[in-house]
Amino acid sequence: MQDFESFYQAHHADAVRWATALVGSRAIGEELAQDALLRVGQRLYRLDNPGGYLRMTVAHACASWHRTNHRDRLRTERLGVAEASTSPAANERLDALGRLPYRQRAAVVMRYWADWPEAEIAEALDCRPTTVRTLIHRGLANLRKEIES
């Protein structure tokens, strides 16, 4: 049985990357990832698939963050606040990604950047695999419009 310390060390970087990509902010991503890791840690010995549970927890935490920080995000977008560590070109694309509805954004990020299996994306987003495909399709179409415009 894996202990929390080794689990944390093995998954911390991935959790931060996922959360950062899903919320568009390194600082907030770190916070959410930390929350998710601690939550998994408290259940670690009862979980059959702690890695999968971590993915789901990160996705839920990010979704929750998006719901409750909608106003702040709009304000941020309006003011053009960008991550200091990314290039202008990357910022433009990330802005475009950030304008997608969260589920579309999450599906695209999970599938094409984090390389999660479709079934795990469906589990993380609480939907069916066919819905995941629809979200990805719509997400890419919307991204294309955003980027090309």
Partner 1 sequence: MMTDDAIIARLRESLDELTAPSAASLPLEVPDLDTVVVPLTDLHPPRRRWVATAGVVGIVGIAAATLAAVVLTRAPSDRGESVGTPPIPTTAVLALGNLDGGVPRFTLDLPGSIVARGPELQSSGSNMGWQRQVFVAADHSDDRVLVINRYTGGLPFGDDSVEDFKDSSLDQPDTGLRERRAAGAAGGAVIAEIISASDVRPAMWIQARGLSDVQLSELVNGGLVSVDERSVAIADPSLGLIDAGPSAYGNGELWWSRMADYTLADGSRINVSASTGTSADRFNDALPFDTETVNVDGRKIYTWATKLLDNSSQRIDSWGNTDATEYLRGIEWHDGDFNVVVRVTGNVPEAVLLEVANALRLTAVP
List 2, 47, 51, 83, residue binding partner 1 (CB under 8 A) = 83
Distances (CA, A) of 67 to 50, 64, 90: 25, 5, 24
Cβ burial, residue 28 (10 Å; 0-12/13-18/19+): middle
What string marks each residue from 5 to 24 as x (binds partner 1 by CB under 8 A) or -? x--xx--xx--xx--xx--x
92-131 positions binding partner 1, by CB under 8 A: 93-94, 97, 108-109, 112-113
Structure tokens that stand for 26 in this block: 């390194």
Structure tokens that stand for 91 in this block: 């910022």
Stretch that binds partner 1, among 45-53, 79-87, 116-124, 127-135 (CB under 8 A): 79-87
Q: Does 60 bind partner 1 (CB under 8 A)?
A: yes
**Amino acid found at 27:** A
22-41 positions binding partner 1, by CB under 8 A: 24-32, 34-36, 38-39, 41
